[in-house]
C-alpha cells in the first residue's frame, strides 16, 4: 500500500494537550481545566522509564469533592489514572474505538513511535469527525 486508505487516530485526535505535574494540587488541575475548557489533563511522567497519567473531571468529583477532601491539599498523583491508555497515531480509528469500548474508557493519549504524546483521542471527537 503506497497510500493510506483509512482514517487514523491522528486524523481525529485533538492536538492541543494540557499537561500537569503529578505533584500539583487538584485545585490547580481544576483551574487549568476551567481556563482551557477541557475535562481531562495529561499527567507528565517523571522520566522516560515512567508512564503518563490522566486526571479527569469525573475523578476529581468522585475522589475529592464527594469525599470532602481539600482540593488544595490533595495532589494530582493521588487520584490520577496511571498508566494512561495510549494509542499509536497511525492506528486505524475503527480499531481504536473497539479498544476504547472494550476497556470501558472514553479517551486515550495518542503517541508517536517513540511514545511522545501527540494528542488526545476521545470517543466524542471520533464520532464528531466521522465522515461517510
What ranges do the domains of the chain cover?
A: 9-128
The sheet carrying 117-122 orders its strands as 86-88, 107-111, 117-122
In words, the CATH class of domain 9-128 is alpha beta
Q: Tell me: the pLDDT tens digits for 77-124?
A: 999 999 999 999 999 999 999 999 999 999 999 999 998 999 999 999
In the prediction, which pLDDT does 124 show?
Answer: 92
Given this model, what pLDDT does residue 5 score? 87
Q: What is the pTM assigned to this prediction?
A: 0.87
In this structure, the dihedral spanned by the alpha carbons of residues 111, 44, 84 and 70, taken in order and rounded to 10 degrees, is -150
Amino acid at each position: 500500500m503506497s497510500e493510506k486508505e483509512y482514517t487514523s487516530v491522528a486524523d481525529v485526535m485533538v492536538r492541543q494537550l494540557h499537561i500537569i505535574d503529578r505533584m500539583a494540587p487538584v485545585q490547580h488541575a481544576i483551574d487549568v481545566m476551567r481556563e482551557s475548557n477541557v475535562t481531562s489533563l495529561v499527567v507528565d511522567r517523571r522520566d522516560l522509564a515512567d508512564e503518563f497519567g490522566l486526571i479527569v473531571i469525573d475523578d476529581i468529583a468522585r475522589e475529592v469533592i464527594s469525599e470532602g477532601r481539600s482540593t488544595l491539599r490533595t495532589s494530582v498523583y493521588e487520584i490520577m489514572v496511571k498508566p494512561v491508555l495510549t494509542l499509536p497515531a497511525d492506528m486505524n480509528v475503527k480499531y481504536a474505538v473497539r479498544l476504547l469500548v472494550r476497556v470501558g474508557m472514553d479517551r486515550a493519549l495518542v503517541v508517536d513511535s517513540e511514545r511522545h504524546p501527540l494528542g488526545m483521542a476521545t470517543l466524542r471527537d471520533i464520532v464528531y469527525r466521522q465522515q461517510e
